[in-house]
Amino acid sequence: MRQPNPPNPPHRSAGSRRTGGVRRLLTVAAGTLALAAGLLTVAPRASAAGLTEITGFGTDPGNLSMYAYAPDGLPAEAPVVVALHGCTQSANDYYAHSGWPELADRYGFSLVLPQTSAANNTNSCFNWFEPGDSTRGQGEALSIKQMVDEAVARYDGDPERVYITGLSAGGGMTANMLAAYPDVFAAGSIASGLPAHCANSVAAAYTCMYAPADRTPGQWGDLVRSAAPAGTASWPRVAIWQGTADTTVRPANATELRDQWTDVWGIGQAPSRTEELAGGTTLSVYDDASGAPAVEVYSVAGMAHGLAVDPGSGAEQCGTTGTYYLDTICSSYRTARFWGLDDDGGTPGTLPAPTGVTVTGTTDTTAALSWHAVTGAASYDVHRDGTKVGTATSAGYTDTGLATGTAYRYTVAAVDPSAARGAASAAVTATTTGFTPTCHTADNYAHTVAGRARHSGGYTYALGSGRPMGLWNTSVGHTLEQTSPGHYVIADSGCPA
């Protein structure tokens, strides 16, 4: 996130610029820290082929620039994804490294890349810590909302499928945008970011970055509820990405983000399930009352401050490495799947998405689905975790050969007689019966972030069994065996699984 220097935009009033002595001292201190870390680089303006600058998108009270990318042949009512760069970065930088443009090509959505500048913030950070820029209807937040409206109108986008993601300061602004505009964004993804409304000044921003307040889930959730329109009852789904070796935005922020958004959803802080992914990544999933993922936390072991990317041509790879783009796992791909944007790139058709997709039964190795038939459909493509696994000629399908005690995510698309596939359905999750024990070796802090343990009074305890594990820090580690869902025991002398 690099240092959140105070803004001094020329279009603000003298009062909002706050150029007093204390403010100047904070600016000098922030600049000194940034120079010590070698972070004050000049962010280029976006100008790469494929990106288009769009002017006149609104009143732009936040003094931002709008850049956008729309793949050729983008169908009507396609999703819109907003991606916010980090400090010292630009829209072009994020476009070039994050992997989102290639996913836009693959899955068919428009991409909006807002850009701030040194006129707003010395380090070209989004002002996530300034109330006048991060609340509904004001400053940068309103400028980003105006960009969404422009993109939906310009590209005939689907206003029900608008998503937002951001890195570092962009992640902090993403959390605030999700809180301020839950009626606009269906879901979001916060990478190396901060809880919504963690700070309301530059001094508080440093505290959040390095030592976030240990508020209760209810207190964090109240910050979101108070920022949203009165009476809000439907909330965005949220993915949280964090490296365990991040010294700029401490990993504790991921825990507080989890607490905040699970509380907003009215669900507990114990994960519904966990999964080990590539790149040393642990995924913890928190389901809503219907069993669908509402919050996902991705903890990347050993990763420093930045966005997780995975260069290559594989189906799950995307992005390129660079400053603050770290080669571990493609976070953009995983986020797109979580949002339901995934597809296999077949010929687009006009058939609507199947409705009523339901898991009708599971066994240790199978999952059965049904849905409402689509008029004009010759068949249906069934996707499991973003990959096509079968074709059905009727409104039902049974997937086989699955692992026990494992959650799988399914979407269904109708295919017309010319083999053109229509829109994908909303995703449903099926969890097979049985349980396969797993082993996890990590420090106590990582175990807690991943949901395998809890901390209280500075000490760590294994989730489920309550076995004491010692101090809650990165210097003490254990091997935990998950013997049943949500139940872990210490297995330092050998893990049977």
pLDDT digits (tens, 9 = 90+) for 448-481: 888 899 989 889 999 999 999 999 988 899 999 9
- Name which residue leads in pLDDT, 94 or 387: 94
Would the pLDDT of 92 be above 80?
yes
Q: Which pair of structure tokens corresponds to residue 113?
A: 């890349």
Reported confidence tier of residue 289, pLDDT bands at 50, 70, 90: confident
Residue in this structure with the two tokens 């409104």, named with its chain if needed: 395
Say what the pLDDT of residue 408 is.
84
Say what the pLDDT of residue 291 is.
84
- Amino acid at position 71, single letter: P
> Shortest CA distance to 9 belongs to which of 65, 53, 88?
65
Residues 158-182: what's their mean pLDDT?
97
Would the pLDDT of 388 be above 90?
no
Say what the pLDDT of residue 23 is.
31
> Shortest CA distance to 454 belongs to which of 293, 287, 263, 255?
255
Say what the pLDDT of residue 343 is.
57
CB 254 within 8 A of CB 240: yes
180's CB contacts (< 8 A; 6+ apart) are 134, 135, 136, 141, 227, 228
Reported confidence tier of residue 28, pLDDT bands at 50, 70, 90: very low
47's CB contacts (< 8 A; 6+ apart) are 92
- Name which residue leads in pLDDT, 35 or 50: 50
- Name which residue leads in pLDDT, 203 or 346: 203
CA–CA dist 198, 128 (Å, integer): 9
Say what the pLDDT of residue 342 is.
79
How confident is the model over 131-151, as pLDDT tens digits?
999 999 999 999 999 999 999
CB 490 within 8 A of CB 478: yes
Q: Which pair of structure tokens corresponds to residue 153?
A: 């109108």
Reported confidence tier of residue 32, pLDDT bands at 50, 70, 90: very low
Residues 23-42: what's their mean pLDDT?
30
Would the pLDDT of 108 be above 60?
yes
How confident is the model over 212-250, as pLDDT tens digits?
998 999 999 999 999 999 999 999 999 999 999 999 999
Among 160-174, 321-335, 391-405, the minimum mean pLDDT is found in: 391-405
Domains for the chain: give ranges and CATH numbers.
14-339 (3.40.50.1820), 358-431 (2.60.40.10), 438-490 (no CATH)
Say what the pLDDT of residue 348 is.
56
Task: Say whether pTM exceeds 0.75.
Answer: no
Helix or strand (DSSP H, E) at 146: helix 139-154
* Residues labelled as active-site residues: 168
- Name which residue leads in pLDDT, 31 or 242: 242
The C-alpha torsion from 336 through 309 and 209 to 61, rounded to 10°, is: -60
How confident is the model over 111-133, as pLDDT tens digits?
999 999 999 999 999 999 999 99
> Shortest CA distance to 386 belongs to which of 314, 320, 450, 325?
314
Report the chain's mean pLDDT, rounded to a whole number: 87
CA–CA dist 242, 190 (Å, integer): 9
Say what the pLDDT of residue 143 is.
98
Reported confidence tier of residue 22, pLDDT bands at 50, 70, 90: very low
Reported confidence tier of residue 422, pLDDT bands at 50, 70, 90: confident
CA–CA dist 194, 213 (Å, integer): 11
How confident is the model over 344-359, as pLDDT tens digits?
444 456 888 899 999 9
- Amino acid at position 127, single letter: N
Say what the pLDDT of residue 33 is.
30
> Shortest CA distance to 271 belongs to which of 440, 400, 418, 134?
440
How confident is the model over 436-447, as pLDDT tens digits?
788 999 999 889
Reported confidence tier of residue 386, pLDDT bands at 50, 70, 90: low
